[in-house]
Amino acid sequence: MQKKRFDRQQSQINTSSHQADQKKPKAARKLLVYLIIAFISGISGASFALVLASSPFRHTTAVLPNSSKSITTIIPTQIDRPVNILILGIDNSGHPHQAAFTLGEALSGNSDTMLLIRLLPKTHQVNILSLPRDTRAEIPGVGADKINAANVYGGMPLAASTVSQLLRNIPIDRYIRVDTEGFIHLVDALGGVEVNVPKAMKYVDRSQNLNINFVAGNQTLNGQHLQEYVRFRHDALGDIGRVQRQQEVLQALLHKLIQPDTFNKVQQLLQIVQQNLDTDLSLGEMLAIYHVLTGVDRYHLNMVMLPGRFSLNNEYDSSYWIENTQATDTVLTRYFDVSIPTEVTQDDQQLTTQKSQASKTIQIALVNATGQSDINEKAIKFFRNRGFSNVYIADHEIDSMLESTGKTQIIAQQGNPDIANLVKKEIGVGQVQVEATGDLYSDVTVIIREDLATKFRSN
């Protein structure tokens, strides 16, 4: 059935090349936002899957509990309020699409990628919360389990209910669910994606169709290798390391998508994406999202991860990511406008004084990206002379996004840009980024590049 549907769609796509050429500029712009949404959702070996307005695309939408009836204004291409969208990337790498597979079957597995995205239309800001697949959560009607199993137990409605309950009953307006098929072909169609592989990676898992073997260094990965890279979890950080790589690759993919060449590949990309999506977004809502995303740049994209820790060996029968509820409350308040009752026992002046004193005790991880060993000692001395006592050199994977510019990266690892900006003020250089790509247990990770190294040498 799926193959017939695809053939019918392909025939309609090719009916009139003249009409396609006329629609190409507009269609390319629409496809860009569709791909951005799908790239955001797919980084765990998932695929991209939204189609042009003229396509006879069909999807099997679920009904989410308590979702809003409309997210757009009277003018259907505009959003006038913040919107929360839950995105699941379903891993079916061990069972690739065949003619016998329906879309529903392909989307019935564990959700290896879980992202909650908040769109802020007035500021063109996008906040993304990554939920590790091993997060211990109460699944309604099931009990405590890894959160990625909710989709298996009850599909998208149960997955949405589980996420909402975990995140203080946060409202979820819409969803996007994609499977693994198509990711490899789409990355190949884009000509591959350049990433910095921070270390040698080798792992074989026949059951998951994985045969990973990478050397360290900057390289352009094709679709097969990129999905292997973002799925790698055979190291000390396990799934959390994979979440960090997902965020790094997401940025690289977004950069690739805005390149002019992407607009010349609409028909090729369209053929790949049509069969891999399940969403309750209407066409008008997709276009409204497009208008929001057109104003988003790297520094209006905040990516945080559910705060927590690894479970202890003797704590549970399985390994879990255990949420830090207090830190989660802070993240939800700051980035998702969740109102959490708190007791106010101090006045503003006392709180300000305490915050100022605590700022010097934050955990700062320093990552030397210059390749010059003498910088480590100079960096520690520099920060300690400025009153930061909890500073250490971290052997951390390095994101290469800003490497070519030589700009130091100041990563707000726990989602607090205020303390990251405090660090920037002290060092006088660098770019603050709200991401979870820094050292896992730091408050701020400073990736030292040549601009900061020059400053160290002059002191």
The C-alpha atoms of residue 321 and residue 136 are separated, in whole angstroms, by 6
Q: How far is CA 47 from CA 234, 283, 286, 323, in A?
A: 22, 20, 18, 28
pLDDT, residue 33, reads 55
The residues facing 115 across adjacent strands are 87, 130
39 pLDDT higher than 80: no
pLDDT, residue 163, reads 98
The C-alpha atoms of residue 290 and residue 71 are separated, in whole angstroms, by 13
Cβ-Cβ contacts under 8 Å for 190 (sequence gap 6 or more): 256, 257, 262, 265
- Cβ(188)–Cβ(227) under 8 Å? no
Helix (H) or strand (E) holding 407: none
Three-state secondary structure call for residue 366: strand
pLDDT, residue 311, reads 94
Higher pLDDT, 240 or 167: 167
Q: How far is CA 399 from CA 118, 196, 242, 408, 456, in A?
A: 24, 7, 13, 11, 22
The C-alpha atoms of residue 445 and residue 364 are separated, in whole angstroms, by 6
* Residue range 75-119, pLDDT digits in tens: 777 888 999 999 998 876 555 544 556 667 778 888 888 999 999
pLDDT, residue 293, reads 73
The C-alpha atoms of residue 363 and residue 368 are separated, in whole angstroms, by 16
* pLDDT band of 7, cuts 50, 70, 90: very low
* Residue range 293-319, pLDDT digits in tens: 767 766 678 999 999 999 999 999 999
Three-state secondary structure call for residue 391: strand
Which class in CATH covers the domain with range 348-458? alpha beta
In the chain, pLDDT over 90 holds for what percent of residues?
A: 34
Domain residue ranges of the chain, discontinuous segments joined by +: 2-335, 348-458
The C-alpha atoms of residue 228 and residue 316 are separated, in whole angstroms, by 29
* Residue range 308-366, pLDDT digits in tens: 999 999 999 999 999 999 999 999 999 999 988 765 444 444 444 444 445 668 999 99
The C-alpha atoms of residue 394 and residue 360 are separated, in whole angstroms, by 19
Higher pLDDT, 149 or 281: 149
- Cβ(63)–Cβ(76) under 8 Å? no
458 pLDDT higher than 70: yes
Domain 2-335 has CATH 3.40.630.190: yes
Mean per-residue pLDDT over the chain, rounded? 77
- Cβ(104)–Cβ(60) under 8 Å? yes
The single-letter code of the amino acid at 285 is: E
The C-alpha atoms of residue 268 and residue 188 are separated, in whole angstroms, by 11
14 pLDDT higher than 70: no
250 pLDDT higher than 70: yes
pLDDT, residue 287, reads 75
399 pLDDT higher than 90: no
The stretch 258-280 carries a mean pLDDT of 69
pLDDT, residue 200, reads 85
pLDDT, residue 230, reads 81
* Residue range 45-73, pLDDT digits in tens: 333 333 333 344 445 567 888 787 778 87
